[in-house]
């Protein structure tokens, strides 16, 4: 086959450093748009981006020519620089070092987008840490608790 074709849907989740609750309602929409712009630049169009005060969820179609690690690095680096321009409250801002990336089948896109859209309601019942542990267990990713958080 002379043409390379791929559709890799990724649900990416990461938090602010030490889960600092700094992502205010008034900054989130703009953050989501800025993040989508970075994803687009790296040929990985966003399907949906949403966040809570201390973490971000995004569903996107990953480029077949950019690695996931490089893409996440560019998104985190770019959004950190951008956030630091949004006032003194963001001067010390950092994302956590790691991230969780989970494959999504086309047949599961509606459920994942609904879950991402409903972050505010969801986190009235479950903490980010409990949510993230559940993702790791559901996707059968072995982890050592002490290395997950920073």
Query: What is the pairing mode between strands 55-62 and 100-104?
Result: unpaired
DSSP code for 145: G
Show the 3-state SS of 13-26: EEEEHHHCCCCCHH
Q: For residue 75, what pLDDT is reported?
A: 98
Domains and their CATH numbers in the chain:
8-147 (3.30.70.1290)
| pTM more than 0.85 | yes
* pLDDT tens, position by position, 61-95: 999 999 999 999 999 999 999 999 999 999 999 99
pLDDT tens by residue, 3-59: 888 899 999 999 999 999 999 999 999 999 999 999 999 999 999 999 999 999 999
Q: Report the first-to-last Cα separation within the chain, whole angstroms.
A: 45
> How many other CB atoms are found less than 10 A from the CB of residue 42?
17
Q: Give the confidence band of 2 by pLDDT, cuts at 50, 70, 90.
A: confident
Greater pLDDT, 17 or 124 = 17
- Residue 132 CA, chain-centre distance (Å), reads 12
Poorest-pLDDT segment among 19-23, 41-45, 131-135, 146-150: 146-150
Contacts of 45 (CB under 8 A, 6+ apart): 36, 39, 60, 61
> For position 3, what pLDDT does the model report?
85
Q: Mapped to the 3 state alphabet, what secondary structure does 66-88 carry?
A: CCHHHHHHHHHHHHHHHHCCCCH
Predicted confidence band of residue 1 (pLDDT cuts 50, 70, 90)? low
| pLDDT of the residue at 49 | 98
Distance CA 64, CA 82 (A): 26
pLDDT at 67: 96
Do the Cβ atoms of 49 and 57 come closer than 8 Å?
Answer: yes
Complete DSSP assignment for 73-136: HHHHHHHHHHHTTS-GGGTT--B-S--EEEEE-GGGHHHHHHHHHTHHHHTTTS-HHHHHHHHH
CA distance 122 to 131: 9
């Amino acid at each position: 086959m002379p043409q390379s074709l791929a559709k890799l849907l990724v649900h990416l989740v990461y938090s602010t450093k030490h889960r600092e609750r700094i992502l205010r309602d008034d900054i989130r929409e703009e953050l989501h748009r800025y993040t989508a712009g970075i994803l687009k630049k790296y040929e990985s169009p966003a399907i949906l981006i949403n966040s809570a005060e201390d973490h971000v969820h995004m569903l996107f179609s990953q480029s077949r020519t950019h690695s996931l690690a490089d893409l996440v690095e560019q998104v985190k680096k770019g959004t950190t620089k951008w956030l630091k321009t949004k006032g003194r409250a963001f001067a010390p801002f950092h994302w956590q070092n790691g991230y969780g990336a989970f494959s999504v089948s086309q047949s599961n896109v509606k459920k994942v987008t609904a879950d991402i859209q409903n972050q505010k309601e969801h986190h009235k019942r479950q903490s980010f840490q409990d949510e993230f542990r559940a993702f790791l267990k559901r996707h059968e990713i072995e982890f050592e608790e002490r290395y997950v958080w920073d």
